[in-house]
Amino acid sequence: MNLLLASTHYGAWTPPLYSQHGGSIDKLIDVVHVFMFVIFIPWAIFFVYCLMNFRARPGHKATYTPIKAKVSKYAEVGVAIFEAFLLLGMSMPVWADYKNNPPAPDQRLEMRVVAEQFQWNFHYSGPDGKFGATRSSLISASNPIGLAEDDPASKDDIVRVNECHLPVDKPIYLRLTSKDVIHSFDIPTMRVKQDVIPGMEIPIWFTIDKNATTDSIRPQMKTVVPMDKAEWYKVRHLVAAVDHKVKDEVVLAKGADLGADLTKGKELLEQLRKKGLTELTLEPRNPLEIVCAQLCGNSHFKMKAQVMTHTAEDFAKWLTESSKKPEMQTDF
Amino acid sequence: MSHHEMSVEDVKKHVRTYIAVFVALLVFTGITVGVSMLGQNQGWTVTTAVLIALFVASIKGSLVACYFMHLISEKSMLFGILALCAFFFLVLLLIPVITVSDNVGVH
Amino acid sequence: MSGHHDHSHGHHDHGHDLPFWRKYIFSVDHKMIGCQYTVTALLFLFFGFTLMMIMRWQLAYPGQAIPFIGQYLSKDIAADGVLVGDGYNAFGAMHGTIMVFLAIVPLAVGGFGNYVLPLQVGAPDMAFPKLNMMSYWVYFCGGVTMLTSFFIKGGAAASGWTSYPPLSVFASSGQTVWLLGMVLLITSSLLGSVNFIVTTVQMRAKGLSFFRLPFFVWAQLVTSFLLLLAFPPLEAAGVLQLMDRLAGTSFFMPSGLVFSSEPQTHMSGGGSPLLWQHLFWFLAHPEVYVLILPAMGIVSEVIATNTRKPLWGYKSLVYSVIFLGFMSFIVWAHHMFMTGMGTTLSTFFQATTMVISVPSVIVLTCLILSLYGASIRYNTPMLFALAFLPMFAIGGLTGLPLGLTASDIHLHDTYYVIGHFHYVVAPGTIFAMFAGIYYWFPKVTGRKMSEFLGKLHFWPSFVFINVVFMPMFFQGMAGLLRRQYDQTEQLHGSIAHGLTKMSSYGAWLLALAQLPFIINFFYSMFKGRKVDANPWESTTLEWAAPSPPPHGNFDKTPVVYCGPYEYSVPGKSKDYCPQHVAMEA
Amino acid sequence: MSTTVIPHDLEPHPLTGMYNGKFGIWLFLASEIMLFGALFSTYVLLRVGAPPGQWPAHGSEILNVPLATLNTAVLISSSVTMVMSWAALKMKKFGSAQVWLTITFLCAGAFLVVKYFEYTDKFHHYQVWLNDPMPVGGHEVTTIKGHLTADSPKLECSEKTGAFNIPEYVIITPDGDHGSSGHGEAVRVEGSKIKRISNFGPRHSPYLATYFTMTGLHGLHIVGGMVVILYFMLVGGAIWKRSPEKYTNRIECTGLYWHFVDLVWIFLFPVLYLL
Ligand code: HEA
Ligand code: HEA
Ligand code: CUA
Ligand SMILES: [Cu+2]
């Protein structure tokens, strides 16, 4: 399976997990699938047995009377009981936890996420902890959320487009809204998904694992891809993890892109092959992405944002630095 | 009873019922309007107003269904189907409740 | 419409002197209407599949020109032969719409239901023959309306088959055409379902009590109730969306929308996007059972005949589908778990979703236990019917993690969902449809389809359809989202790309595997082996009529003496006792 | 052509007590209940979810209750005449049945005429929403309802949205206190001050959207019923001659439909006009 799914650490089953609540979701997924196999395999064996044993052949006659199948009753009741267990024992508690227990206001990082065709706008309150007012009449390409400059609370606010900085190990509380159509806020690696609906503000919250800073997970995802498996599609988001050398000549420097564009990317791979490079050591340019999970128009597939996770100190540093430069607010 | 084998006498009896129902419907229409005006003057709560209005409308509706549409003399098979329909109708009417009440977001 | 000449010879023997257009075009005979439905629906099935094959090219080779056909596609759909984003979305939305509303439902209900149901209940025709004809032509107009939307400015509807507003209200005029088409299709279904219910309840042959009805009839009856009561809310929703698009109302448009940086102050606002989702899924969940129930009905008929023994647990089958039908009205919001639903509601809908899986389990159990002690004949219809069982099991089981909110967080809107429902509708329903076609072909034409070509159709289809859909579960697990014009734009999409290619190749090979079927279908119609009225030695009433049945169906009005599946009754000379033959003591 | 005899085309089936047509029409009505159910559901949702002030406290603030009461009476009458027509047929009095049928048709027509006046009245009534409050008749207002005067420029629709473009200016005679027209002095409002302008048509507000959609759909049902009734007024004699029983049945089915349409109105009236 790993071969088929490409040889990265992105996994053959669920993707890697960097959030605290995600473990219980994964566990449920695993248990359900085990359950499914436990039902399906005996079922399939019995099926095949019947197909072989009861085929029409000379001298073989069907029996009119139905078999007395207590087993089927047990199986049906068993299925029902197990479903009840899945529901009551696993799914509902997780969901209740996911929905009912928001982190206390003084312990969380609160921010606003405003979705639109086709970008994610992130609004941080800045060091003062107060969100500036927004007005739809002020919205423009350079002020995507319509932040009111005349509101003092907006002075230190930070607005970022398609770039989201988050601290690890601190509850994050997002208030999701949309300006136009329905989007869906999805971070597969965090097991977070929530539709973003215009006219509503929907909160979600989660906490990122302590050691899941971008800088530390990127190298974990390092992988070696043989040149003949390196199709452009599979490597387009990956960069060279080390200097690639052929006879001491660096043909692909560390951090180099494999090309964001189909033709150029293919050419580059071709060149590398010609130069005699046999394998690539790669890592994701950015391992954490926010994607849009709800069809929202022709560029829905491109609607994504990069998540940069930082330690508490780094995040605080980023926050103060970014808010100090008001002209940076809408610089994207 | 099926209308199939109805005698002229039966029909004449029916006609008298129809007239009575007609009068009742007109009276109830008057009541609805009157009550609603009263309610507006007295400043009843929306719930009261809705309940009364729907109550009167239901009476009128039942009269039409039972007598004009002869529901009162139909067989139980039809009731079964209409009960099913009524149940799903109620489910439909729950949609607003569930959309508004149990959503983590705010409108 | 090409299908009308196909069944001509079928009616030569019964010399009513109807003009051509009364006999083949505006026919009121349920059998001709059934054939019209079948052929039209098969053409749409083929068309829907073609759209998907084109989309699968873009998925496997994003940004590369589509071979052969790319250059002929209009500018709204493809630029320089490369599918564009809007074109992909339009094809996707239309694939879903066509497959569900124009292919499978008309085939399963309009085609099989119309042809077989009156015969199986021993009726001379449907209760309302003219209404029946109308319902076909309204469906036909709905189909043509949908197709024209490909040619108007801006292209066909591109907001998914689910048409969620506000996106669908902002969308180009293809969406309006989609809505008009849907209103026609819904009307057609309503007319049809009234006809089916009345026919089943009022026109059963003498002696044919409800518990002697073939299971297929039961499945159709429940299906008709689903259509009757679930479709109108979508019709209402369609009207509301039309109002939003054409009359500028705001039923689904909340206040304060800003579209491409322009505040939408010309609208009143105050609407609710979630309202559409509720009304849509209130139909669309029962609709998925509309797709599966007739399929279960067909499979049961084929299995009963070819196991040569009574169906196991006929009554529990009947109660299960009734319960299934009822429950299907109260699970719809499991498609909306990610809309911000709180714990109360999600608990309710998860619970009903788990409950509804129980009758499916019972149906499948009954069918598989019917195999025990059987004498299974492996002919083509039986192969397809048997393949239905494990495929439906896989599709159904993968519904469970979707029905549990917690796991749905990760799986919602990923290819896992696509995998789940294609397992039920493609190797599930489509295979059942194939089984039905092979099974009843001799009744319709008096000729059998070729067994050799049939097996040449079955085996590759079985293999390749799994190649198409199995990888989707793994992709979905990896987080790959559905409705992606270019999956490799995202990190996890690019990583799962190998599987995408595999799936695409599977789809194209699957198309090749349909060639034997198409050849077989037309060849056997004219040149197939002639057979008598009851070639499978079956018990239900349709086999009591001549093949093809004349106008009015039965030579002599049948009377029913026993249950539907009296096979291998001990002490009888033959291994089957037809329903219309009084059993010797 | 068809020698096929459909069982229970005329005589009732013992299980349901109904002939095919009647059973069919009841099933159809069940589906209609679900259709209007969805619309009522929409009404409730939009009303409950509306921010304060967006929805009128009572429909009578905007709509004409006396006219609608009249219409209710008209429709109820038509229901009675319809059932009388059927009763007459049962008594084998074809002539008077046709008379009752004709009265039903005329009532339906009258209903539509009244509805037409109600509709056009709404389309000639306007509301202007302002960017900033301005003084009108001694109060600061953010919105003005009223009629445009003759010298107000003609409003044009935007091609993209279908809504009125903001005109250069409008001259509007504000409504009196209770929505009656023609009070107060006409005011001139510059286009730059206008946020939005709309007549009291469907796009005006969720309330009117619901009103027009529900009554419009109901009106279409009336029109459909009228077509059927007209058909039987014209060819009834021929069917009666061929089979009196068949004709009686058809009128019964038509009646069932017609009473249902009446029944829907009985609910629409209080819901839209009075609440
Ligand atoms: C024919 C169509 C069909 C059928 C039958 C089903 C059946 C089921 N479906 Fe599916 N579903 C769809 C078509 C169908 N579905 C479609 C089209 C969508 C997507 C729409 C869209 O978004 O575009 C969808 C989406 C969908 C979702 C939403 C996912 C999401 O968007 O996040 C969910 C969630 O609950 C779900 C659940 C189920 C369940 C629990 C069943 C159950 O009824 C399944 C029950 C069956 C079984 C449980 C298997 C049976 C038994 C055995 C294996 C026997 C073994 C037994 C013993 C040993 C005793 N489906
Ligand atoms: C009944 C419903 C149905 C059926 C049968 C199918 C069948 C198939 N679907 Fe379908 N699909 C949907 C309903 C269906 N689909 C829906 C609702 C969606 C969601 C749309 C949305 O997102 O809005 C979807 C989406 C969807 C996607 C996801 C697209 C995306 O999200 O971007 C994909 C991807 O591969 C896909 C593939 C296929 C394939 C390969 C088949 C194949 O199985 C097809 C196989 C077909 C045949 C085997 C037919 C053979 C018949 C003939 C050859 C006829 C012969 C003719 C004569 C004799 C005249 N479908
Ligand atoms: Cu935003 Cu998809
Ligand atoms: Cu569902």
| Ligand 2 in reach of C193 Cβ (< 6 A) | no
pLDDT at A34: 93
Q: Once rounded to an integer, what is the mean pLDDT over residues D94-113?
A: 96
Task: Among D18, D31, D162, select the one facing C232 at the smallest CB separation.
Answer: D31
pLDDT tens across B67-78, in order?
888 888 888 888
Q: How far is the CA of C420 from the centre of ligand 1 (A)?
A: 7
pLDDT at C13: 42
Exposure b/e, A96-115, CB count within 10 A at least 16 = b: bebbeeebeeeebbbbbbbb
Can you point out the beta strands (E) in chain A? 109-116, 119-124, 158-161, 163-167, 171-178, 183-187, 192-196, 202-207, 223-226, 238-240, 244-246, 249-252, 279-284, 289-292, 304-310
Label residue A232 by pLDDT band (50, 70, 90).
Answer: confident
Interface test with A, best of C494, C562, C573, C583 (most A CBs within 10 A): C494
If phi over 0 gives left and psi between -120 and 50 gives alpha, with beta otherwise, what is residue C362?
Answer: alpha
pLDDT over threshold 70, residue D118:
yes
pLDDT over threshold 50, residue C11:
no
pLDDT over threshold 70, residue A7:
no
One-letter identity of residue D206: P
Do the Cβ atoms of A166 and A310 come closer than 8 Å?
yes
Contacts with B99 from chain D: Cβ below 8 Å: 45, 49
pLDDT over threshold 70, residue C14:
no
Domain boundaries, chain B: 1-73, 74-107
Task: List, as ranges, residues with CB under 5 A of the ion ligand 4.
Answer: C 285
> B104–A203: do the CB atoms touch at under 8 Å?
yes
pLDDT tens across A9-32, in order?
566 688 889 999 999 999 999 999
Interchain contact B49–D (C-beta under 8 A): yes
pLDDT over threshold 70, residue A2:
no
Query: CA–CA separation, C78 vs C85, rounded Å?
Result: 9
In A, minimum Cα distance to B102 occurs at A99
Q: Which ligand is nearest to the CA of A118?
A: 3
CA atoms within 13 A on the CB side of B89: 17
B 51-80: CB under 8 A from D: 53-54, 56-57, 60-61, 64-65, 68-69, 74-75, 77-78
Q: How far is the CA of C284 from the centre of ligand 4 (A)?
A: 7
pLDDT tens across A175-207, in order?
999 999 999 999 999 999 999 999 999 999 999
| C-alpha to C-alpha distances, A109 to A160, A165, A315, C23, C567, nearest whole angstrom | 16, 11, 11, 73, 71
> C410–A14: do the CB atoms touch at under 8 Å?
yes
Q: Looking at the domain assignment, is residue C261 inside a domain?
A: no
Q: How far is the CA of C362 from the centre of ligand 1 (A)?
A: 15
pLDDT tens across D25-61, in order?
999 999 999 999 999 999 988 988 887 777 887 777 8
pLDDT tens across C72-86, in order?
888 888 888 899 999
List the structure tokens of D69. Answer: 């009461």
Do the Cβ atoms of C495 and C475 come closer than 8 Å?
no
> B11–D82: do the CB atoms touch at under 8 Å?
no
Label residue A56 by pLDDT band (50, 70, 90).
Answer: confident
| Ligand 3 in reach of A303 Cβ (< 6 A) | yes
- Name the percent of chain A lying above pLDDT 70: 94
Label residue B42 by pLDDT band (50, 70, 90).
Answer: confident
Annotate C524-566 with three-state secondary structure: HHHHCEECCCCCCCCCCHHHHCCCCCCCCCCCCCCECCCCCCC
Task: Among C164, C362, C404, select the one facing A28 at the smallest CB separation.
Answer: C404
Q: Is the peptide bond before C570 cis (omega within 30 degrees of 0)?
A: no
More confident position, D99 or C21 = D99
Beta bridge partners of A163: A306
pLDDT at C87: 93
Read off the pTM.
0.94
List the structure tokens of A270. Answer: 């071709």
CA atoms within 13 A on the CB side of A4: 15
Label residue C17 by pLDDT band (50, 70, 90).
Answer: low
pLDDT over threshold 70, residue C585:
no
Q: Once rounded to an integer, what is the mean pLDDT over residues A168-174?
A: 94
pLDDT tens across C307-327, in order?
999 999 999 999 999 999 999
Distance (Å) from the alpha carbon of B15 to chain D's nearest alpha carbon:
7
Domain boundaries, chain A: 1-12+103-332, 22-99
Distance (Å) from the alpha carbon of C287 to chain A's nearest alpha carbon:
21
More confident position, C353 or A8 = C353
Cβ-based contacts under 8 A for chains A and C: 319
In D, minimum Cα distance to C228 occurs at D31
Q: Once rounded to an integer, what is the mean pLDDT over residues A117-140?
A: 88
Label residue C7 by pLDDT band (50, 70, 90).
Answer: very low
Label residue C389 by pLDDT band (50, 70, 90).
Answer: very high
Q: Is the peptide bond before C548 cis (omega within 30 degrees of 0)?
A: yes
In C, minimum Cα distance to D49 occurs at C270
| Ligand 2 in reach of C96 Cβ (< 6 A) | yes
Closest CA to C399 of C353, C446, C340: C353
Spatial strand order of the sheet with D187-190 comes to D187-190, D169-174, D139-148, D126-136, D194-199
Label residue D179 by pLDDT band (50, 70, 90).
Answer: very low
More confident position, A8 or C32 = C32
Among C287, C346, C360, C423, name the best residue to mutate to test ligand 1's pocket (greatest count of ligand atoms within 8 A of Cβ): C360
Helix residue ranges, H only, C243-308: 273-307
Contacts with C236 from chain D: Cβ below 8 Å: 35-36, 38-39, 42
Q: Once rounded to an integer, what is the mean pLDDT over residues A53-81?
A: 83
Label residue A5 by pLDDT band (50, 70, 90).
Answer: very low
Residue C289, domain extent: 22-254+267-536
Longest Cα–Cα distance in chain D = 81
Phi first, then psi: give them for residue A76, nearest 5 degrees.
-65, -45
Helix residue ranges, H only, B1-107: 8-42, 46-63, 76-101
Longest Cα–Cα distance in chain B = 64
pLDDT over threshold 80, residue C70:
yes
Beta bridge partners of D196: D129
Query: CA–CA separation, B41 vs A292, rounded Å?
Result: 52
Q: How far is the CA of C395 from the centre of ligand 1 (A)?
A: 6
Q: Looking at the domain assignment, is residue C560 inside a domain?
A: no
List the structure tokens of B74. Answer: 């139909």
Q: Exposed (0-12), middle (13-18) or buried (19+): which is D193, by Cβ within 10 Å?
A: middle
Which listed CATH number (3.40.50.880, 1.10.10.10, 3.40.50.300, 1.20.120.80) goes with D20-48+64-122+206-274?
A: 1.20.120.80
Cβ-based contacts under 8 A for chains B and D: 135
Query: CA–CA separation, B8 vs B18, rounded Å?
Result: 15
Query: CA–CA separation, C76 vs C72, rounded Å?
Result: 12
Q: Which ligand is nearest to the CA of C105?
A: 2
List the structure tokens of D204. Answer: 């005006």
- How many folded domains does chain C comprise? 1
Query: CA–CA separation, A127 vs A324, rounded Å?
Result: 10
Interchain contact D138–C (C-beta under 8 A): no
Closest CA to D209 of C166, C250, C255: C250
Measuring from atom 32 of ligand 1, which residue has the nearest CA? C412
Q: How many residues does chain D have?
A: 275
Atom number in ligand 3 closest to CA A196? 1
Domain boundaries, chain D: 20-48+64-122+206-274, 126-199
Architecture of the CATH domain A1-12+103-332: Sandwich (2.60)
More confident position, C241 or C7 = C241
Among C7, C36, C49, name the best residue to mutate to test ligand 2's pocket (greatest count of ligand atoms within 8 A of Cβ): C49
pLDDT over threshold 60, residue C5:
no
Label residue C117 by pLDDT band (50, 70, 90).
Answer: very high
Label residue A265 by pLDDT band (50, 70, 90).
Answer: confident
Q: Is the dihedral of CA C316, C318, C321, C325 positive or negative?
A: negative
Measuring from atom 1 of ligand 3, which residue has the nearest CA? A183
Atom number in ligand 3 closest to CA A303? 1
